[in-house]
Structure 1
């Protein structure tokens, strides 16, 4: 097989990703048209599939930036196919974030793609690779909230508006959490190239635990309060206020009673 054919194979979009994308499209249509007998079920499937799509795009952004920075091995590892099962930690990258959305309504950062750092020259490139994932979440949030900040909500069904607001909330929380300069998260990956070798060596043993430390800190009232205040401020700047997001969360949890103010 020629090298060009190999590259095409490595970059061919995975049927798994296309299947998830199809579920997102069909359930999004069901939410918009009120086709489903139980709108909460349609919102649940739409938000969950869209969240998985965003997780794939997050990891793809890392891999694509690494490819253009000099790491040609990301294609052979399957990272350019958008296949969620190709990541180094499929459980951390997809399963755990989805479970946290279902249980707590918060978007958590996933695992990471494996980058061959030795092939990449320049600290700026390393930082950009780390930043690419959260930036994908930011872009996803901007797209989800476009009807809000463009003032184009006329004709948008309530259920679809609520779902978009909640989905944008997940993207904002994931981006903010992932940008924290905590070992193991992308925020630390951005600043790590600029630290001295000695500092990096001392921090390295703690990197596997950073993700879980962040989760634990979210249970501290003072920390979680400050974090969600920042999230709410960003959501307001995007035009997606609290009631829409809260109703989206309520509809998403279709197995619970939907508040009267969120009826569709």
Structure 2
């Protein structure tokens, strides 16, 4: 018999704490310029911070589900922020990290199993789905806070670039997650409000929704519009496209090992 989540179910996982520690140490290395090459520190910092955000994304889904009636999430390990407890660790952690490494785009996660039958009320179902991408929105606001608060004085240029690139990942993840496509959180937000017939027809396509989105993003015109929206949001938050591109170049240090980026070596 499933019981309400206890204190042990909510204890923060040592795995998650280890990832946070890696993010903190590598962030300090980027800030102080410790270690060589500089891009390696940026790579570790952004990757670790990105995984932290993925864990928080899934935790937000689970925690909202707990307060909405699904008390089974505690026994499943979702409240401990342990990435190894996810139903599909490959989809929630491995693939998002690989997509960042390959192209610098925030791949949506989504691998906590919520027992929807325990939850009553359409608003609760919608809120559970929205909780994850809203976490990415909050993470993006935190990353960009020094920019929109005009508090960049004293912040090393290299650290600004790393934060700018991390913010880009959060914004892309939030926008992609909020798309009303079966299989993504955006569809989960509107699904409770759709007629039963439409929900049944869309259900078989849920497993292909993310693949379809990325296939469409390969279309140059769509890609241009999408990243135009992403950079528009970042620009409103005070982050320039130059900053994100310099952060991306530093992150992918292995691809830019023998190249110099004079535009990134001077200025804010």
Interval of TM-score (by shorter of Structure 1 and Structure 2): over 0.9
Q: Distance in 1 between matches of 2:215 and 2:260?
A: 29
1:42-97 CA-to-partner distances (Å, cap 9, x unmatched) read: 00000000000000000000000000101000000000010111111100000000
Specify the alignment match of 2:17 in structure 1: 18
1:169-188 CA-to-partner distances (Å, cap 9, x unmatched) read: 00000000000000000000
Which ranges of 4 or more aligned residues in structure 1 deviate by more than 4 Å?
none
RMSD: 1.2
Aligned-partner SS, 2:7: helix
Instruction: Answer yes or no: is 1:170 the counterpart of 2:169.
Output: yes
1:216-264 CA-to-partner distances (Å, cap 9, x unmatched) read: 1110111111111110110001101111111000000111134122238
Question: 2:182, 2:206 within 8 Å by CA — same for their partners in 1?
Answer: yes
Q: Distance in 1 between matches of 2:243 and 2:208?
A: 34
Specify the alignment match of 2:264 in structure 1: 262
Aligned-partner SS, 1:97: helix
TM-score (norm 1): 0.97
Greater Cα offset, 138-147 or 106-115 = 106-115
TM-score (norm 2): 0.95
Greater Cα offset, 215-224 or 119-128 = 215-224
Q: Distance in 2 between matches of 1:258 and 1:219?
A: 28
Instruction: Answer yes or no: is 1:89 the counterpart of 2:81.
Output: no
Specify the alignment match of 2:213 in structure 1: 214
Question: 2:165, 2:243 within 8 Å by CA — same for their partners in 1?
Answer: yes
Question: 1:40, 1:253 within 8 Å by CA — same for their partners in 2?
Answer: yes
- Total equivalences in the alignment: 261
Question: 2:89, 2:111 within 8 Å by CA — same for their partners in 1?
Answer: no
Aligned-partner SS, 1:133: helix
Greater Cα offset, 251-260 or 87-96 = 251-260
Give unmatched runs, 5+ long, in structure 1.
none
1:181-223 CA-to-partner distances (Å, cap 9, x unmatched) read: 0000000000000011111111101110001111111101111
